[in-house]
Amino acid sequence: MTHLTRRSLLGAAAMVPGLARAQQPAWPEKPVRIIVPFPPGQAADIFTRLYADELSRRWPQRVVVENRGGGAGAPALEAGARAAADGYTLTAGTSGTLGVNPSVLPRIPYDAERDFAFVSNVVVLPLLIVAHPSLGMRTAAEVVATAKAAPGAIDVATAGPATSQHMSAELFVHRTGIRVNMVHYRGSGPAMADLLSGNVKLMFDSVASALPHIQAGKVIPIAVTTPDRAPQLPEVPTIAETVAPGYGAYGWTGLCAPAGTPAEIVQKVNADLGAVLRQPAMQARFIELGGTAAPGTPEEFGSFVRREIAQWREVARIANVRLEG
């Protein structure tokens, strides 16, 4: 009788793809790290921690969030891009770090289109125009008409140069053919403080940040920037449906892996992340925090990022927006 040695059995197993895969250890075998390019407490951090906790319950290993703020998020994205392509280091890519930075940072240390394997978008954060009640304007059409009658006379507050709020304002100005005076602050908080006091009368802000002040009647919502109305403010029209058809801008946070990460790992993370983001309780929590869950395929997210880069490249060119770095 022919005797099959252990070595020949292993050789035979290697020739059967399914059997060979079955012998491979399941991923993840160790904790998974997600780099967030902002300090704790900002939107990207809050939403990332929500789904990271859920993935930790689904996976045999913990998901750890690591905050790396500063430098417009560029150092964090560079670290994510240079990490080993094994799925154990993921990066929370955002509208700023992936969509805007390629056009406004002169020495950007990563290639937003080539250095990452796109996993999925996670959350879309609507922005909006808000006004101090004393401004006397209630619609985007009134803002446009006033700005055209007095070019450069209206001050518009933003959370800082090249932020999603600023870029959305520049896109609004370009699409409506008006001229305003952009007033940049070091974050949304200081800008909103000046709006509430009446020092500045108009502002581009996130729904998440402005919503409490709208609900308190302290600021007037004019129009939202997303193509569809925000679920948190269903009565507020969009810029697209009022003064600029086709206009669309928002903040967002997605998930990326280093380029070259095995497709099966990308697909697993995408599938598990999508399952988490489609949970009704998670979707309700996102809306409560001012965002909308936005799961999709890796291909859809990659296409989305490329469209964002193209749009903001054009806006940065027209408005001559540049950051030092």
Domain identity same for 63 and 99: yes
Say which range, 11-25, 48-62, 140-154, has the weakest mean pLDDT: 11-25
Q: Residue 292 sits in a domain of what CATH number?
A: 3.40.190.150
Residue 221 — pLDDT band, cuts 50, 70, 90?
Answer: very high
In a domain, 267, yes or no: yes
Portion of the chain with pLDDT greater than 90, in percent: 87
Residue 17 pLDDT > 70: no
Q: Are residues 233 and 263 in the same domain?
A: no
Domain boundary, last residue among 185, 217, 242: 242
In tens, the pLDDT along 121-133 reads 999 999 999 999 9
Convert the pLDDT of each residue in 44-98 to its tens digit. Answer: 999 999 999 999 999 999 999 999 999 999 999 999 999 999 999 999 999 999 9
Is 271 inside a domain boundary? yes
118 and 133 assigned to the same domain = no
Long-range contact list for 259-266, CB < 8 A, 24+ apart?
259/81, 259/85, 259/114, 259/115, 259/116, 259/117, 260/85, 260/117, 261/85, 261/86, 261/87, 261/117, 262/85, 262/86, 262/87, 265/27, 265/86, 265/87, 266/87, 266/117, 266/119, 266/298
Q: Residue 41: its pLDDT value, please? A: 86
14 — pLDDT class (breaks 50, 70, 90): very low
End residue of a domain, out of 242, 268, 301: 242
Domain presence at residue 2: no
Per-residue pLDDT, 25: 67
Can you list the alpha helix ranges (DSSP code H) found in the chain? Answer: 6-15, 17-22, 43-58, 74-82, 101-104, 140-149, 164-176, 188-197, 207-215, 239-242, 263-277, 280-288, 298-319
Provide the number of structural domains found in the chain.
2
Same domain (yes/no): 114, 74: yes
Does 37 fall in a domain? Answer: yes
d(CA 194, CA 205): 13
Residue 276 belongs to a domain: yes
User: What is the average pLDDT across 111-125?
Assistant: 97
- The pLDDT tens digits for 270-309 are 999 999 999 999 999 999 999 999 999 999 999 999 999 9
**Same-domain check for residues 147 and 99:** no
pTM for the predicted model, two decimal places: 0.87
CB 80 within 8 A of CB 35: yes
Q: Which of 144, 92, 141, 143 is nearest to 116 (CA)?
A: 92
Which pLDDT score, from 0 to 100, does residue 56 have?
A: 98
In a domain, residue 324? The reply is no
Same-domain check for residues 206 and 266: no
CA angle 248, 275, 40 (to 5 degrees): 65
Based on the fold, state whether residues 39 and 114 are members of the same structural domain.
yes
Domain around 71: 30-123+250-319
**Would the pLDDT of 229 be above 90?**
yes
Residues 176 and 87 in one domain: no
Mean pLDDT for all residues in the chain: 92
Overall average pLDDT of the 176-191 stretch: 94
In a domain, 47, yes or no: yes
Residue 1 domain flag: no
Does residue 8 carry a pLDDT above 50? no
Q: 61 and 111, same structural domain?
A: yes
User: Given 219, 242, 265, which residue is the final one in a domain?
Assistant: 242
pLDDT exceeds 60 at position 10: no
| Whether residue 236 has pLDDT greater than 50 | yes
Based on the fold, state whether residues 289 and 206 are members of the same structural domain: no
99 and 172 in a single domain? The answer is no
Q: Using pLDDT thresholds of 50, 70 and 90, give the confidence band for residue 13.
A: very low
